[in-house]
Amino acid sequence: EQWIFLNNRFVKKDEAVVSVYDHGFLYGDGVFEGIRMYSGNVFRLDDHMKRLYESAHSIMLHIPFEKEELTELVVETCRKNQLQDAYIRLVISRGVGDLGLNPYTCKGAGVIIIAEPLALFPKQLYETGIEVVTVPSRRNRADVLSPKVKSLNYLNNILVKIEASLAGVNEALMLNDQGYVAEASGENIFIVKDGIIKTPPGYIGALEGITRNAIIELAKKAQLDIREDVFTRHDVYTADEVFLTGTAAEVIAVVKVDGRKIGNGKPGEVTNQLLTLFREAVSVDGTKVYV
Ligand SMILES: Cc1ncc(COP(=O)(O)O)c(CNc2cccc(C(=O)O)c2)c1O
């Protein structure tokens, strides 16, 4: 039996329904988090909760639980479903209102916590690496809808995903409006050149990824030279290594970009080293569900 937390109680999966007047559904008006649990440990749960509350605050969405309460409800949802390794989706919508887009007609935020057994990325993608293209769709500008807000408005990312599949590849890179590389549709990007690891700084316009931040910390601890710096498609094409990071993807090598082979066309040493360090970190750095 799968249990889902819905607004104020646990319901069975087939009873977990939302109203057609929910503004999360009607307008993508809401925020969400994608979180992972590894061997009974919810990785960096506090970081995810901090980002969720910041995103909600930024769009003036009041979450009807204290952060500590909602954090405990996430843990409880994992426990109630007796999961060890899980993908957790935490959604806060503006809630049920009338058909107009005015959020002030919504009486109270919708709260959803789903915890499911993990569907891993195909293993061989980590051995071979993936191919990506750069697409015409740019990352939304901060003065349109801040890419730092993890909102339910994922059409920018979904259109990029469509452009990737039309090009016959797994993922795609978005540039920002000045032409600098921002991120992929659901992951942050890193390049390695002459031993220096670079990832775009916050002002370029990308989600501040939890995995991105974990990789930066792990690289520094391993005495690797890692910096936040801008880069263009040329820097990606001529990099020794390229990799993407995200909760679902973890750390995945990119071996071809817009038809240009990256390095020797295989996942690079730094990429593999960081994936190993990341995999070691995930079962210790987080919140224990069964204690
Ligand atoms: C636009 C964007 N950028 C970067 C990341 C990586 O951030 P984290 O390291 O904090 O996860 C994300 C998050 N990526 C994400 C979130 C939820 C679902 C899926 C999916 O591919 O199903 C992807 C994202 O949506």
71-102 pLDDT, tens digit each: 999 999 999 999 999 999 999 999 999 999 99
CA distances from residue 110 to 9, 33, 38, 43, 215 in whole angstroms, order as listed: 12, 14, 27, 24, 33
Of 217, 36, 54, 226, the residue nearest 148 (C-alpha):
54
CA–CA separation, 100 vs 217, rounded Å?
Answer: 45
User: What's the token pair of residue 234?
Assistant: 């040329």
Which of 207, 218, 251, 275, when mutated, tests ligand 1's pocket best, judged by the most ligand atoms within 8 Å of its CB? 207
Asked whether the beta carbons of 245 and 238 are under 8 A apart, the reply is no
107-152 pLDDT, tens digit each: 999 999 999 998 878 999 999 999 999 999 999 999 999 999 999 9
Asked whether the beta carbons of 147 and 140 are under 8 A apart, the reply is yes
Task: Tell me the CA–centroid distance for residue 289 and ligand 1, in Å.
Answer: 23
Pocket of ligand 1 (CB under 6 A): 34, 157, 183, 186-188, 207, 209-212, 245-248
pLDDT beyond 90 at 10: yes
pLDDT of residue 284: 85
Supply the DSSP string of 91-125, one letter for each residue: EEE--B--SSS-GGG--S-EEEEEEEE--PPPTHH
172-226 pLDDT, tens digit each: 999 999 999 999 999 999 999 999 999 999 999 999 999 999 999 999 999 999 9
pLDDT of residue 246: 97
22-48 pLDDT, tens digit each: 999 999 999 999 999 999 999 999 999
Percentage of residues in the chain having pLDDT higher than 70: 100
Task: Tell me the CA–centroid distance for residue 98 and ligand 1, in Å.
Answer: 30
At residue 129, φ and ψ (nearest 5 deg) are: 85, 170
Given the residues 50, 107, 150, 161, the one annotated as active site: 150
Would the pTM count as exceeding 0.95?
A: yes
Residue type, 269: E
151-174 pLDDT, tens digit each: 999 999 999 999 999 999 989 999
At residue 3, φ and ψ (nearest 5 deg) are: -105, 135
Task: Tell me the CA–centroid distance for residue 247 and ligand 1, in Å.
Answer: 6
Q: Which atom of ligand 1 is nearest to the CA of 207?
A: 3
Does the annotation count 150 as an active-site position?
yes
